[in-house]
Amino acid sequence: MKIHPYLKVMSKGVVLNLHVQPRSSCTAFAGLYGSSLKLKVKPPPVDGAANKACQQFLAKLFKVSKSSVVLKSGANSREKAFFIAGISLDYALARLPQ
């Protein structure tokens, strides 16, 4: 099984590295950006709105609670790392675009 550079397996979940593009027309994945997965989000990067949109999108995608999706790094950057608790690598790969 190929492990993508934007995914890292942890003991209680996975870490997903994202390159976030705020102020997009819709919230959706848009391919790769270097070693990260590119995610376009509607809200602007003001008062954490883009971070919250990422959290909500990932919680819905992986069918976990919003509290299971934690921003680990990149709060004020386009390069972000989100920890998604309670999911396996296989599940993550099945839910992410190929």
Predicted TM-score (pTM) of this structure:
0.94
CA atoms within 13 A on the CB side of 86: 11
Residue with structure tokens 């997009």? 24
Residue 89 has pLDDT above 90, yes or no: yes
Task: Please provide the CATH number assigned to the domain covering 1-15+43-98.
Answer: 3.30.1200.10
46: three-class secondary structure by DSSP: coil
DSSP at 12:
T
Tell me the backbone φ, ψ of residue 2, rounded to 5 degrees.
Answer: -80, 125
**pLDDT computed for residue 2 by the predictor:** 58
First to last CA, the chain: 13
Instruction: Kindly state the tokens that stand for 77.
Output: 């950057």
**pLDDT computed for residue 4 by the predictor:** 83
pLDDT in tens, 2-53: 568 999 999 999 999 999 999 999 999 999 999 999 999 999 999 999 999 9
Residue 1 has pLDDT above 60, yes or no: no
